[in-house]
């Protein structure tokens, strides 16, 4: 099955090319994300993280508190600069912000280490302060900082979840068993369409119930529905009338192309719009 091919920078490029062919309207945004995901993948092999030092929580799940993720600061700083360069080329709005950030980092007016730490401690004030000081869009600063630490987060999650398959089989919650954050996407895979969730924060993938809302754990089928279009048979949007949230689902039995979850999430923004028009909310912003 295509979904089990190990992710490489080459497979990310192939997945992006297939999506651009399928949905040309997304070409510019997919180009932007493809560059970021490729350099993240390339950075992974160079990461220096003392995974043995990870503090595992006392309870079964989640395995770790978000604040205890270990970040390779040097690699993340390098990525921050590279992502700013990508943003600089993306569009006129991003160019100005990326240039301000690059120059502030080079002249040490912005120190990135505390920003990475602020992300893990959900300290929004650190971002607000810099956004105000440099008159830049805070959301873009948060976005680039987060994308810069993402390879480190994935490395932590891979290490922590290495022996988890068996333990996870009885796991019933909709939040990530590694870090406790909410899922960003779900898939149906293999014979019988087993359902998996993808963490919005550390990218861990875990099996889940086929019919259940991952956000409020509602299993009442009268309150669980999905939005579906005949034109895009591989997608559906699962909606829950109990908590009014939705999650996008990709049926990998129907895609027949290389799948990379973070790209798929971008190429389905029209599904987010439809779900929101229908009165449902995204759980992950």
**Residue 192, Cβ density class (10 Å: 0-12 exposed, 13-18 middle, ≥19 buried):** exposed
Mark the segment that binds Zn ion (CB under 5 A) among 21-29, 70-78, 159-167, 214-222: 214-222
| Whole-number Å distance between alpha carbons of 221 and 242 | 11
- Mark the segment that binds Zn ion (CB under 5 A) among 41-49, 127-135, 237-245, 269-277: 237-245
Tokens of 94: 């991003």
Mutual angle of helices 112-120 and 124-134, in 10-degree steps: 140
**How many residues at the interface with Zn ion, by CB under 5 A?**
15
Selected from 155, 204, 236, 248, the binder of Zn ion by CB under 5 A is 204
* 182 is a contact residue toward Zn ion (CB under 5 A): no
- Least distance to Zn ion, CB of residue 36, Å: 19
Distance in Å, CB of 66 to Zn ion, minimum: 8
Task: Using the rule CB under 5 A, give the single segment among 5-13, 90-98, 236-244, 264-272 that binds Zn ion.
Answer: 236-244
The answer to whether residue 130 forms part of the interface with Zn ion (CB under 5 A) is: no
Answer yes or no whether residue 242 interacts with Zn ion by CB under 5 A.
Answer: yes
Q: What's the rounded Cα separation, in Å, for the pair 35 and 147?
A: 12
Q: Which is nearer to Zn ion, 215 or 259 (CB)?
A: 215
Answer yes or no whether residue 153 interacts with Zn ion by CB under 5 A.
no
**Could you tell me which of 27, 26, 118 has the C-alpha nearest to residue 71?**
118
In this structure, what token pair is assigned to residue 17?
């090319």
CB of 267 to Zn ion, least distance (A): 22
User: What does R_g of the chain's alpha carbons equal in angstroms?
Assistant: 19
Q: Indicate the pairing of strand 281-282 with strand 245-251.
A: parallel
**Closer of 86 and 184 to Zn ion (Cβ):** 184
Residue 116's closest CA among 155, 150, 65? 150
Helix, strand or coil, per DSSP, at residue 269: helix
Rule CB under 5 A: say whether 104 interacts with Zn ion: no
163 or 191: whose CB is closer to Zn ion?
163
Residues that bind Zn ion (CB under 5 A): 176, 178-179, 181, 199, 201-202, 204, 213, 215-216, 218, 240, 242-243
């Amino acid at each position: 099955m295509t979904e089990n091919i190990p992710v490489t920078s080459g497979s990310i490029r192939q997945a992006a090319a297939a999506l651009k062919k399928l949905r040309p309207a997304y070409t510019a945004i997919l180009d932007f994300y493809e560059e970021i995901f490729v350099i993240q993948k390339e950075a992974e092999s160079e990461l220096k993280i003392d995974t043995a030092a990870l503090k595992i929580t006392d309870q079964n799940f989640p395995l770790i508190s978000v604040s205890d993720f270990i970040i390779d600061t040097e690699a993340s700083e390098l990525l921050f600069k590279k992502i700013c360069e990508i943003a600089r080329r993306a569009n006129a709005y991003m160019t100005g912000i990326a240039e301000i950030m690059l120059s502030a980092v080079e002249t040490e007016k912005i120190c990135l280490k505390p920003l990475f730490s602020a992300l893990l401690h959900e300290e929004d004030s650190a971002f607000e302060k810099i956004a105000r000081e440099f008159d830049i869009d805070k959301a873009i600063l948060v976005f680039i900082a987060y994308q810069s630490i993402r390879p480190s987060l994935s490395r932590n999650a891979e290490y922590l979840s290495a022996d988890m398959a068996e333990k996870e089989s009885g796991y019933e919650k909709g939040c990530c068993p590694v870090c406790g954050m909410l899922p960003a996407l779900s898939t149906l895979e293999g014979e019988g369409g087993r359902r998996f969730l993808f963490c919005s924060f550390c990218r861990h993938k875990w099996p889940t119930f086929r019919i259940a809302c991952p956000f409020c754990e509602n299993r009442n089928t009268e309150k669980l529905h999905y939005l579906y279009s005949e034109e895009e048979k591989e997608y559906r949007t699962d909606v829950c009338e109990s908590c009014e949230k939705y999650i996008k689902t990709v049926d990998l039995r129907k895609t027949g192309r290389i799948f990379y979850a973070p790209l798929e999430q971008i190429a389905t923004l029209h599904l987010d719009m439809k779900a929101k028009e229908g009165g449902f909310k995204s759980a992950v912003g």
